[in-house]
Amino acid sequence: MVDRPNNAGMSIHAFAPRPRVVLQGVWLPAEGLGQEPLVVEAVLRAWLQQAWGLSLPLRLRPEQRGTRPGWAVSLATELAQAWMPQGDTLNLALRLGTELGLQAEQALAGEVLLAMLAAPLAYGFEGLEAWASAVRVRCHIAQAAQRTALAFKTVAAERPEAFWRYDEDHGFVLQAGSDLIAALEAATQPEATGRLYDFSCYRASEYVILLGLARELAVHHPALLSLLQQVNERHAIRSGLFHDTYLIEHGQQAAPLPPRFYVPGDRVWFRNPDPVSSDITGYEGSWVIYMGGGLFSNFWRRDAPFTLEGKCVEIFHWRHALAKDEHGELCIDEALVARHVAQTMADPQRLEQVLARMMRHRDAKGVYADGGCIDTTREHPRSVAPHDASLWQVLDGLVRTWAPSAKVATP
């Protein structure tokens, strides 16, 4: 559970009531959609209905980015305020089930789309194809997170040897010729091998995201999947390099996202605001995936995913479970954490006190003042739509750095 990259700024607390969220939604270029508002709205409404089974009232406004004309598309303000007040998306799945009657996978995609359309900071896409690809990737990530079950280790790590080998310089790399999707499933989903493998939550989140990307590429961009395979056969992309290669950080410390705004497929950082327990390796905070339906991944007990409140309470009680390991080093007694959590969740007054402390935006990196555990930003994968060459260029550069003689096809 490695600390997240720093965004400089002062502590911003968000437990108190916040002003009405201004919807920015999604930005799309005008080319391919048209210049007339009624025509564009008709195209978008037809796409939402035919591709996703959604009939939604939309709000459009022209918005130029640089020299490119485009459209800012959001959910109608009245519906967004009714279904996602203050930018709260955690009950959206329930709304989709009761109001629209969507089921299972269709409901998950619908949750992604509606949350995006009510976003306080716009998501930009190069067209409907790229938007659809992003929705599918997020669904794949959320579903992979639901299936992931691992053994929690803060320093130790292991992978199924049939698919992975460890290299001191390059980390866990893919065995030559192994299928990347099968290898990621074997490492994270016990049904594939019959056992749990040792992971930190940070590395686990990377494997889940990579699996979501690979599943999208297998169907819609096999050439990029082949390049992804080459990269993983040479070097593990992890930690800061993983973030820089695959992810986009949405939001910023100075203008934080609402504390209850999450889109399925987001990677989310919960910071431990206690200076003592956060100094223990693995307890600086917690990296999770938002799976939709108000639930966050629990890689160690997938049958007990976290609610936002449950995650905040767990991290709060790390400070109350300090112990010494066999080497005399500080550690966290997880059984004691569980007891504290159960007591707090059963006591409404105590629960309110804990949440008032924890459901604030975090302090800046290195600061332990009045902040809580809620991050100001979210992370999501960059575009892997076939016409977008940005990830291809990054991976191509890495392959050429690590294996100068390697032959890499053009996108």
Considering the domain architecture, whether residues 281 and 365 belong to the same structural domain is answered as: yes
Domain-located, residue 329: yes
The verdict on residue 202 lying in a domain is yes
Between CA 49 and CA 179 the distance in angstroms is 35
Query: Residue 176's pLDDT band (boundaries 50, 70, 90)?
Result: very high
As a whole-number percent, the residues of the chain with pLDDT over 70 amount to 92
Assigned domain for 125 exists = no
**Is residue 368 domain-resident?**
yes
Q: How confident is the model at residue 23 (pLDDT cuts 50, 70, 90)?
A: confident
The verdict on 101 and 162 lying in the same domain is no
Query: What is the reported pLDDT for 12?
Result: 36
CA distances from 6 to 164, 254, 269, 376 (A): 32, 12, 12, 11
- Between 377 and 20, name the one with better pLDDT: 377
Kindly state whether residue 16 falls inside one of the protein's structural domains: no
pTM of the complete model? 0.93
Residues 54 and 168 in one domain: no
The reply to whether 51 and 164 lie within a common domain is no
**Rounded Cα gap, residues 53 and 46, in angstroms:** 10
* Co-location of 260 and 177 in the same domain: yes
User: Tell me: the pLDDT tens digits for 255-276?
Assistant: 899 999 999 999 999 999 999 9
* 99 and 209 housed in the same domain: no
- Kindly indicate the confidence band of residue 411, based on its pLDDT and cuts at 50, 70 and 90: low
- The answer to whether position 373 is within a domain reads yes
Q: Token pair of 338, please?
A: 């569980």
pLDDT at 92: 94
Cα–Cα distance between 187 and 204 in angstroms, integer?
A: 9
Domain boundary among 119, 138, 164: 119
Print the domain residue range for 92: 26-119
Note whether 317 and 225 are same-domain residues: yes
Is residue 46 assigned to a domain? yes
310 and 356 inside one domain: yes
Domain count, the chain: 2
Type of residue at 376: T
Q: Does the pLDDT value for residue 7 go beyond 60?
A: no
